[in-house]
């Protein structure tokens, strides 16, 4: 039994081809376009790829070329199906011109699998890791297309600016979700390596707050003295952004977001406070668990990533929240001295 990836944007054709492969005794991965097929191939490493040529986002020929560029997929046989390419493409291992007989399709499936190299078993990772990588990869194509279309709309003088701003916010949320899913996958695999430096945490916090002031009023309460801590600037900025994004959203533009920095010889605490609706008390203990449902919504995945990044720094992330009284998120980081 082999794993076969079948890609076709016509649902009826996809179902027929997949059924034929299953009747031959193989497992099937189904993809509705080239980008989805590429993401599935990277995540699951099939023994054979069957792809139509005329597909949205990524054509069959371009999918062949992209697969040939992947170190782990370059030797996987590919059957290309097309009604417009009379001779197929050199990147494909086999070619069938549409329309074709099912018996011909079955024959080329058998021949391709018989000639396919048998890869050594590999650990594809936990289900969470595989799912995170695949979803993040699959999301990227439509998000890039939507972002390009939004830029075109922004140049139209008669476009409704409030609607465009709302679309931009939704795209940012989806892009953040994709980034968080990638980080969840890396965290699950133990693949997040910090690059710590000794630096002034106060200056980095000021930079994050300044950036978020473009979206809403944020008050920073901190000493002017430097706060030297050993940390990964990129990853700690990621934690700041998760907490500030949540606070600005929860506050609803009322200008009651406050960020406080406190430091002792052994510990630094950054608190991000809002006066929004808060979270139900029963949800607070679960805010930092992955894939939780509730009022946190997609932001909960960001909380999980932020808490894991804090843990990798030897610190911790906690929250206190009550309905109607807002929330306080606290980042604790150790320091020497």
Residue 295 clears pLDDT 70, i.e. is over it: no
Are 206 and 320 part of one and the same domain?
Answer: yes
Mean pLDDT of 26-41: 85
Q: What are 200-228's pLDDT values in tens digits?
A: 999 999 999 999 998 888 999 998 899 99
Our count of domains for the chain comes to 3
Point out the domain boundary residue: 115, 138, 171: 115
pLDDT at 122: 42
| Average pLDDT of every residue of the chain | 83
Both tokens assigned to 132:
């995170």
Are 259 and 290 part of one and the same domain?
Answer: yes
In a domain, 269, yes or no: yes
Give 199's contacts (C-beta < 8 A, 6+ positions apart): 228, 229, 230, 231, 233
Are 99 and 15 part of one and the same domain?
Answer: yes
The domain of 178 spans: 127-188
- What is the arrangement of strands in the sheet containing 3-7, beginning at the earlier edge strand? 27-31, 3-7, 48-52, 78-82, 94-97
- The pTM (predicted TM-score) of the whole model is 0.55
Q: What are 101-127's pLDDT values in tens digits?
A: 899 989 999 988 887 766 554 444 555
- In whole angstroms, give the CA distance from residue 237 to residue 121: 38
């Amino acid at each position: 039994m082999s794993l076969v990836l079948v890609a076709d944007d016509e649902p009826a054709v996809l179902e027929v081809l997949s059924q034929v492969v299953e009747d031959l005794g193989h497992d099937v991965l189904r993809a509705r376009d080239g980008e989805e097929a590429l993401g599935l191939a990277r995540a699951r490493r099939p023994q054979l790829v069957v792809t139509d040529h005329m597909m949205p986002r990524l054509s069959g020929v371009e999918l062949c070329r992209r697969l040939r560029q992947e170190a782990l997929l370059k030797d996987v046989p590919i059957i290309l199906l097309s009604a417009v390419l009379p001779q197929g493409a050199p990147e494909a291992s086999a070619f069938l011109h549409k329309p074709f007989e099912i018996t011909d399709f079955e024959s080329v499936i058998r021949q391709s699998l018989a000639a396919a190299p048998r890869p050594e078993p590999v650990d594809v990772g936990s289900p969470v890791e595989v799912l995170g990588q695949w979803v993040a990869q699959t999301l990227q194509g439509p998000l890039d297309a939507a972002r390009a279309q939004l830029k075109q709309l922004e140049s139209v003088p008669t476009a409704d600016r409030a609607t465009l701003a709302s679309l931009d916010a939704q795209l940012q949320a989806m892009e953040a979700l994709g980034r968080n899913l990638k980080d969840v996958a890396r965290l699950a695999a133990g693949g997040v390596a910090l690059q710590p430096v000794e630096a002034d945490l106060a200056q980095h916090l000021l930079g994050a707050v300044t950036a978020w002031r473009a979206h809403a009023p944020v008050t920073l309460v901190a000493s002017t003295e430097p706060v030297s801590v050993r940390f990964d600037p990129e990853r700690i900025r990621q934690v700041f952004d998760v907490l500030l994004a949540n606070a600005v959203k929860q506050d609803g533009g009322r200008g009651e977001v406050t960020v406080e920095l406190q430091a002792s010889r052994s510990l630094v605490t950054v608190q991000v406070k809002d006066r929004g609706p808060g979270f139900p008390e029963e949800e607070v203990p679960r805010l930092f668990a992955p894939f939780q449902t509730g009022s946190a919504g997609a932001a909960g995945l960001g909380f999980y990533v932020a808490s894991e990044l804090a843990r990798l720094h030897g610190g911790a992330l906690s929250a206190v929240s009550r309905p109607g009284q807002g929330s306080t998120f606290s980042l604790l980081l150790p320091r020497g001295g």
